[in-house]
Structure 1
Amino acid sequence: MLCGLLAVSFVAWTAQGLDRAKLDRARDELAARGTRTFIVMWNGEIAYEWYAPNQEPNQRLGTASLAKALVGGISLMVAVEDGLLDVDDPAWKYIRAWRNDPVRSKITIRHLVTHTSGIEDAEQDGLPHEKLPGWKGAFWRRDPDPFSIAIHQAPVRFEPGTKYAYSNPGFAALAYAVTASLKGTPHRNIRALLKHRVFEPIGLRDEEWSIGYDRPYDVDGLRLYATWGGGSFTARAVARIGQWMLQRGRWNDRPLVDSTILDRAVADAGMPKPARTPGNPNPASGLGWWTNEDGVWRNVPTDAFAGAGAGHRVLLVVPSLKLVVVRNGDWLNEEGGAEGFWGAIEQFVFNPVIGALGLEPPYRPSPVVAGVHWAPADQIVRRARGSDNWPVTWADDDALYTAYGDGWGFEPRLDAKLSLGLAKVHGPAQHFQGVNLRAASAERIGDGDAGEKASGILMVDGTLYLWVRNAGNSKLGWSLDDGRTWSWSDWTFTESLGHPAFLNFGKNYAGARDTYVYIYSPDRDSAYKPADRLVLARVPKDRIRERDAYEFLERVDAAGGPVWTRDIARRGAAFSFPGLVYRSQVTYHPALKRYLLCGIIPIGDTRFDGGFGLYDAPEPWGPWTTVFFTRKWDTGPGENCSFPTKWMSADGKTVWMVFSGDDHFSVRQATLEMRK
C-alpha cells in the first residue's frame, strides 16, 4: 500500500523551479482538511504526488460535478469536432419533445452547457438529495431515470440566456442532446465516444475510470450516461486528462480534438456570469469548464481553466505554466466558513501551488545591466486616479503625449468617464504636471473590451500617431495639430496585432536607427489574452498610414539579421515567453545603445499586485536578455509599463518607469547598475 508522500519524480526540483518545501506545507494543510489525493504535474511529468493513508494510486474516487468537465465538456467537444452539432444549435434539434414548447424551444446547447438555460436545479433548502420532494428527489434517485425528469418535469424559471443559474438537470438535457447527435455514428453513446476517441488514446485503462453512476439508462432509443456527476476516476487519470487538455487536444503529436475547438471550450463562453461575493471568486463558464479569462482568481494566470465538484474535487490546468493540479477528498472548509466554494479552492489549492512554482525569466541576464535599484515604493508619484493604459511618446514641443483608458484623466478630472482619452505631461519626472487634452474625434466611451482604447502612441516629424485596440483588431489614427483633431485609417489589422505599440526613440523620433517605424504586439487578436510571443512589424515613416507598406518580421537569420515579409501569415517571433507575453512597450536607450522592452506578466490582477520583466537587446528584434524580472513586485505594475526617453539621464543610469499600477499614471525612479 502506498500512503503519505509518494515521490514519483524528484527530478531537479530547483532547476524546475518547484519549491518542494512549499508544496509540503500545502500538502500538510490539505491533509488536515480532508484531502485524499493531491497531484502536481509540471512540464508533462508528475512532480509531486500524495495520497492519504488507505488511499492508493489505482483507487478510483468520485468526481461529483467535476464530471461536467471530464464527461460533459469533453464529449461535447468531440461531437462538435465531428460536426454532429454546434453549440449555438437550438437544443430541440436533438430533444424533439422541446420543438413546439414556447419556452424550451428557445434553449440552445450553449445555454445548457453554461448554466444559462433557465432550467431549475434539483436542489432545495440545503436538503440531502434523498430527502428532496417531488421531481427533485426523483432526479437524484434516478426514478425512473433522470433524463426524462430533466426534459419533461424540471421547470424553466427564466428566459434562456438571460441569467446564470447552476443546473444539474440542464446537464442531463445536454447529455441527451449530445447522445442524440451520435445516432448513426460508430460510437452511439457518450461512454463509447470518450473511451475510443479520447481516453484510450491517452492511455487510460478501463479500470481507471467509469461514468454515469456505473449504469446507463435507455430512453427514447438512446443509451444515456450521466454527465453532471457520477464519474469515478483515479487521480492519475484525471491528471492525464488535464495534461491532454493542456496540450490543446494532442497526444503523442496526434490531434484527438482540433485545438480551436478545445480553445473555445476553455474560453469565456460569453454568457451571464455567476454572482461574485467576497471570498467566493466565481469564474466565468466555458463549455463545461470554468475559465479564469478575466482574472477572477487573482494569483492564477488568465489562461487557466478548471473543473470542480462537491467536496472541492478539482482539476486545475494552467497552460502558460505547463501546470496541472488534481485534488480530491472532502470539503476544504467547515460548514459556514468564510470561504465560499471557489474561495476555499483558491486559498488552499490554487494559491499555494502557484506560490510554490518559481517563474524563471525567459532570457539570460543582460551583459550590459547588472541590476535595477528601485526608489522606495512610498516615493512613487501617482496622478490621474482611476485611469489606466498610459502609452507615452516624446513630442516636438518637449511634452510627453499619452492616452488613458476607462477613467477621467488627470486632475481636475473630466465629468465623463472615457474609454480613450488623451493628455500631455510637462516637466521633468521629479515634478511633472499632467493636463487633459480634449479631442472629440479621438475620445471613446465603453468599459473594458466594449470600448476602443489606445495601445501605442508616437510622434514622427510633428505628426502624432495612435494605435487603438478593441477595434477588430486594431486601427491607426493620426493628428497633425498636436492631438486636437484626428483622422483614422480605413483599414484595420484583423489578424494578430491585438495590442500594437510603437517603438519610441527620442524627441519627435530623433535618434531613430533608420527611416522605419517599428510596431510590437502580442501575437493575439485580443488585447486581453496572453500570447506565446511578440510579433514585430515595420513601415517607412512616411507611409505609416498605408496598410500595404507594412512588413512583418518572419525570422532572424543565422547572422542575426532580420528577414521581413509582406505576408502577415508568415510572421514570426521577435520575443518569446510561452503563455506569458502580454501588453508591452519598447523604448530605445541612447546612452546604452540598447532597446528596453517592458512587459507585464499576466498573472492575477496586475493593477494591484503582480510582476513584470524588463529586457534589453542591441536590435529591435533581439537577441533579448533580462535586465529585471519579478513575479511579484512590491506594488502592482499595472497593465502597461514603459521608460520614456525624455526621462533618462545623460549617463543612462537613472531612468523613470511610467506604469498604470493602482489605476494611476504612476512614475517610479530606477537606477541601473552597469556591468564592469
Structure 2
Amino acid sequence: MRRTVAMVALTASIMFTAGCSTAGGSGTGGDTGPFSAVIEDAPTAIGVSDGDLWPSCWSDDDALYTANGDGAGFGNEFSDIVMNRVTGTPASDDLEGEGLALGDELGQVWSGEGFTRKPTGMLCTDGTIFLAVQDLARDFNAAPAATIAHSDDHGQTWKWDTAAPMFDDGVFTTIWFADYGQDAASAPDPEYAYAYGLDGNWRDSFSDVVPDPTELFLARVPVDSVQDAAAWQFYAGEPGDAEATWTGDIASKRPVLIDERRQHDLSVISQGGVTYLPKHDRYVYTSWTEFTFEFYESPTPWGPWEPFLTEDFGEYPWDAEQIGGYGTTIPSKFVSEDEKTMWVQSNVCPCAPAGTTSYWFGLREMTLEDSAK
C-alpha cells in the first residue's frame, strides 16, 4: 500500500530555518518546492543480507558498492563493518550481493574502548571507491572521529592513513558524499567531490552527551585528494548564495541547512544521503528521526534546502505493513531515467522496541511528482 505525501505545512510553533531565513520567508509553510511524493509504507525489495546503514555508490563496473554496520552483510561472517557488491535492481526483483571485505580490512577504531566502526558514506569516481568510516559510541550517542579509506580494485582491498583520523573532536565526523550517478558521471563540477557532514552525532543524541545535530554542513575536495584532510574546503557562506564561499578552516564552516524542528521530541537532521537528479537539476537530502522520514530538496549543494516530505510512521510498535527506518538513502543506480521513480533504503534494528525489524538491504519505492509552485 502506498501513501501520498505532499509538502507538510510548518506551523508557527515548528520553525524551519535556513541560515538566518525561514522556509518560504514566513516559517508557516511558504513555497512548497517542486516536488510532491508518493512512498511505500514498507520495504518491498529485499536483498538476502544482514546489517544496517548501507551507504552506497554506483561504480564504473555497473555494480552498487554498499557498506553495512553490525552484521554479515551479503557474506557469512559478522562484523561491525562489511563492504559488499550488489547487482540487479529492485524493480527487477533480482538483487544479489557478495561480501568483499570486513572489519580491520576497512578501517580502525580511533577512540578506544566503548567505540565501534560505522560506515557513513561512499563515493565512486574515476574507478576508485571511497568509504567514510566513523567511530560511534556503543550506545550510539556520540561520534568523535572519522576517516576515509579507498579501494582501487573494486572493493577487494582498502587503504587509509593509519596515523590519525582525518576528522576528530566530534567535528564533521558523520560524512557522506553527494551521489552523482555511475562513477560520478553527472557531477556538474567533476573536479571536486562534495561531502556533507554533521557535528557531534549521527542523529539525536538520546543521552544528550553531545548536542543533537540541527545543522548540516558541506565540504568539497579535489577528487585526487579525498584522503588529504588539508585539501578539504568547507562552505562558509549563507544557504543558497548565488556564489559559494569556501574556507580551508574547519572552525569557520557554516551550515547549509539549519532545522531546529523536533518530531516526537527528536531532532530531524540525521545521517542520510544526498542524491543529485540531473534532469531536474535538484538535490534530494533524505533525513529521518526514530519515527519519521524528513526529506528536503535544493537547487545547489549549498541550498536553499526546503522540506518536501514528512512521513510519520507513528510511535512503536510497528508492523511489517507500515515501518519507517534510519540511515535513509536513495542509491542513484535505482533512480529511473525520467527521475520520477526511485528506491529508498532504510533499516530498523532488532535492538529497538519496534515490534518488527528491517535489518537488511531493503528498498521501498518512491515516486516524485512535479508540483506547481
Contact 1:394 1:506 in 2 (8 A): yes
Counterpart position of 2:364: 668
In the TM superposition, 1:558-637 aligns within 5 A as: 559-578=241-260, 579-601=267-289, 606=290, 610-632=291-313, 635-637=322-324
Structure 2 unmatched runs, 5+: 1-10, 16-26, 137-143, 206-211, 261-266, 315-320, 349-357
In the TM superposition, 1:408-557 aligns within 5 A as: 408-410=72-74, 413-414=75-76, 416-430=77-91, 431=93, 432-439=95-102, 441-442=105-106, 450-470=115-135, 472-489=144-161, 490-491=163-164, 492-495=166-169, 496-514=171-189, 515-524=191-200, 529=205, 530-556=212-238
Compute the displacement of 1:539 (Å): 0.5
AA paired with 1:493?
F
Counterpart position of 2:354: none
In the TM superposition, 1:97-496 aligns within 5 A as: 364=30, 366-369=32-35, 371-375=36-40, 377=42, 380-384=44-48, 386-410=50-74, 413-414=75-76, 416-430=77-91, 431=93, 432-439=95-102, 441-442=105-106, 450-470=115-135, 472-489=144-161, 490-491=163-164, 492-495=166-169, 496=171
Compute the displacement of 1:450 (Å): 2.5
Contact 1:537 1:552 in 2 (8 A): yes
Distance in 2, matches of 1:556 and 1:570, equals 12
Distance 1:487 1:672, change over 3 A: same
AA paired with 2:245?
V
Higher relative contact order (CA 8 A, sep 6+): 2
Q: Compare the two structures and name the one with the higher helix fraction.
A: 1
Compute the displacement of 1:527 (Å): 6.3
AA paired with 2:325?
G
Contact 2:67 2:82 in 1 (8 A): yes
AA paired with 1:16?
S
Per-residue CA deviation, residues 583-634 of structure 1 (Å, 9 max, x unaligned), is 1211101221100100112xxxx3xxx1121111010000111221123367
Distance in 2, matches of 1:545 and 1:612, equals 31
Contact 2:130 2:151 in 1 (8 A): yes
Q: Compare the two structures and name the one with the higher strand fraction.
A: 2
Contact 1:499 1:527 in 2 (8 A): no
Distance 1:572 1:386, change over 3 A: same
Compute the displacement of 1:435 (Å): 1.9
The structure with more radius of gyration: 1
Q: Counterpart of 2:251 in 1: which secondary structure? A: helix
Compute the displacement of 1:649 (Å): 1.2
Q: Counterpart of 1:406 in 2: which secondary structure? A: strand
Distance in 2, matches of 1:481 and 1:558, equals 38
Contact 1:444 1:452 in 2 (8 A): yes
Aligned residues: 308
Per-residue CA deviation, residues 63-87 of structure 1 (Å, 9 max, x unaligned), is xxxxxxxxxxxxxxxxxxxxxxxxx
Distance 1:588 1:557, change over 3 A: closer
AA paired with 2:365?
Q
Distance 1:558 1:478, change over 3 A: closer
Compute the displacement of 1:422 (Å): 0.8
Distance 1:513 1:422, change over 3 A: same
Q: Does 1:658 align with 2:345?
A: yes
Contact 2:203 2:269 in 1 (8 A): no
AA paired with 1:451?
T
AA paired with 2:44?
I
Contact 2:45 2:90 in 1 (8 A): no
Distance in 1, matches of 2:89 and 2:213, equals 35
Q: Counterpart of 1:626 in 2: which secondary structure? A: strand
Contact 1:381 1:667 in 2 (8 A): yes
Q: Does 1:16 align with 2:3?
A: no
AA paired with 2:278?
P
Q: Does 1:644 align with 2:334?
A: no
Counterpart position of 1:95: none
Contact 1:418 1:444 in 2 (8 A): no
- When the two structures are superposed, what TM-score results if normalisation uses the length of structure 1? 0.43
Per-residue CA deviation, residues 547-602 of structure 1 (Å, 9 max, x unaligned), is 1111111122785322111111111111111243221211101221100100112x
Compute the displacement of 1:367 (Å): 2.5
Distance in 2, matches of 1:462 and 1:523, equals 30
Q: Counterpart of 1:531 in 2: which secondary structure? A: coil
- When the two structures are superposed, what TM-score results if normalisation uses the length of structure 2? 0.75
Distance in 2, matches of 1:641 and 1:577, equals 17
Distance in 2, matches of 1:395 and 1:503, equals 14
Contact 2:237 2:254 in 1 (8 A): yes
Compute the displacement of 1:434 (Å): 2.1
CA RMSD of aligned residues (A): 2.7
AA paired with 1:477?
A
Contact 2:173 2:200 in 1 (8 A): yes
Contact 1:457 1:502 in 2 (8 A): yes
Distance in 2, matches of 1:637 and 1:470, equals 25
Q: Point out the more displaced range, 624-633 or 475-484.
A: 624-633
Compute the displacement of 1:460 (Å): 1.1
Counterpart position of 2:6: none
AA paired with 1:553?
Y
AA paired with 2:347?
S
